[in-house]
Amino acid sequence: MRLKDKACVVTGGASGIGEAITALFAKEGGKVAVVDVDAANGERVVNAVKAAGGEAVLIRADIAEEAEARRAVEEAVRAFGRVDVLVNNAGVSAVGDVAACAPEDWDRVMRVNVRGVYLMSHFAVPVMRQQGFGTIINMSSTIAVIGLQARAAYAASKGAVLALTRAMAADHSHENIRVAAILPGTVYTPFVEGYLKRHYAEDMAGAIENLKRRQLNHELMTPEDVAYAALYLASDEARFALGTALVIDGGVSAAKVF
Ligand SMILES: NC(=O)c1ccc[n+]([C@@H]2O[C@H](COP(=O)([O-])OP(=O)(O)OC[C@H]3O[C@@H](n4cnc5c(N)ncnc54)[C@H](O)[C@@H]3O)[C@@H](O)[C@H]2O)c1
């Protein structure tokens, strides 16, 4: 019960990494508000938490819309009375180098991944400030620290999330608002599965093997592997994790085996 009675908000909690974080936080005693545009999957995740004896609510909102992000934070406060932990996890991707990436894809990725993190934090920080306590965990990516081909917009957005995390840590640590980032490598989620289906439909098994080979342990990372990192950062045990960039990537950014 490492999050006993903590009021948590998880954006993008209806799928993949956010779903695993929601389930683990609830199992550890947290009350979780799932903020997502996908109401059907959001319901599924919330119902699973309740069936397991946990506490969760769904807030259907687009985090990149100012009015909706404001409402999401207000509804979370109405549901649980406070916001102790905000996990800015919702994100989208686009494929292509700068020449191939269409301006509308660039804008879509930056809008959700950067503006969404800014807006949710913009509305949550005053609540945390008033409480005199809060933790914000931003989902960046290893792509913020190593170049990967054909992900120009996505890389730029996750670099921005990492820089914003450090700026927020500088601004808010003295208010007892702790801000940190997680930098996952490739995690097998609907996000990645969809990408592989679109680009490697003829050889899914081969594409998955390639993914495994990139990891030093030759295994596929699961959403739960990232959820445990989020659990650590959300818990009081992480009180010195200020502006931390926690890399969980199977060693991809740390070492190269030739
Ligand atoms: N899967 C990976 O390999 C990987 C690696 C590094 C970082 N990440 C990051 O982790 C996060 C979660 O990724 P995932 O793989 O679990 O993705 P996913 O697609 O499985 O889940 C993302 C969720 O975010 C929601 N969402 C999207 N736009 C939204 C918006 N505007 N408002 C509210 N909700 C919105 C979606 O509906 C979905 O439920 C993302 O920020 C992603 O960039 C993923």
Mapping DSSP to helix (H, G, I), strand (E, B) and coil, where does residue 189 land? coil
Q: Is residue 31 domain-shared with residue 154, that is, in the same domain?
A: yes
CB 16 within 8 A of CB 189: yes
Within a domain: 254? no
Q: Which atom of ligand 1 is nearest to the CA of 38?
A: 37
Q: Is residue 158 domain-shared with residue 32, that is, in the same domain?
A: yes
Report the alpha-carbon distance of residue 154 to residue 159 in Å, rounded: 9
Q: Is residue 91 domain-shared with residue 177, that is, in the same domain?
A: yes
Within a domain: 2? no
The reported pLDDT for the residue numbered 258 is 86
In CATH, what number is assigned to the domain containing residue 176? 3.40.50.720
Q: Is residue 42 domain-shared with residue 139, that is, in the same domain?
A: yes
Q: Is the CB of 116 under 6 A from ligand 1?
A: yes
Within a domain: 257? no
The reported pLDDT for the residue numbered 84 is 99
143 CB-contact burial (10 Å; exposed 0-12 / middle 13-18 / buried 19+): buried
91 CA to centre of ligand 1 in angstroms: 4
Within a domain: 217? yes
Domain span at 213: 188-221
CB 255 within 8 A of CB 185: no
Report the alpha-carbon distance of residue 250 to residue 155 in Å, rounded: 19
Q: Is residue 76 domain-shared with residue 197, that is, in the same domain?
A: no
160 CA to centre of ligand 1 in angstroms: 16
The reported pLDDT for the residue numbered 191 is 86
Q: Is residue 78 domain-shared with residue 171, that is, in the same domain?
A: yes
Could you give the residue numbers annotated as active site?
A: 154
**For residue 90, which of 38, 29, 142 has the smallest C-alpha distance?**
38
Within a domain: 258? no
Report the alpha-carbon distance of residue 181 to residue 199 in Å, rounded: 29
Q: Is the CB of 229 under 6 A from ligand 1?
A: no
Within a domain: 121? yes
CB 158 within 8 A of CB 109: no
Report the alpha-carbon distance of residue 108 to residue 59 in Å, rounded: 21
Q: Which residue has the tokens 């004896």?
A: 53
Q: Is the CB of 34 under 6 A from ligand 1?
A: no
Q: What is the pLDDT along the chain (258 residues), one digit of tens a residue?
A: 999 999 999 999 999 999 999 999 999 999 999 999 999 999 999 999 999 999 999 999 999 999 999 999 999 999 999 999 999 999 999 999 999 999 999 999 999 999 999 999 999 999 999 999 999 999 999 999 999 999 999 999 999 999 999 999 999 999 999 999 999 999 999 889 998 999 899 999 999 999 999 999 999 999 999 999 999 999 999 999 999 999 999 999 999 988
Q: Is residue 126 domain-shared with residue 195, that is, in the same domain?
A: no
- Structural domains in the chain (count): 2
Within a domain: 126? yes
Q: Is residue 129 domain-shared with residue 199, that is, in the same domain?
A: no
Q: Is residue 214 domain-shared with residue 227, that is, in the same domain?
A: no
Show the beta-strand stretches assigned E in the chain.
7-11, 31-36, 55-60, 85-88, 134-139, 177-184, 245-248
Q: Is residue 77 domain-shared with residue 203, that is, in the same domain?
A: no
Q: Other CB atoms closer than 10 Å to residue 68's CB: what's the count?
A: 18
Q: Is the pTM of this model over 0.85?
A: yes
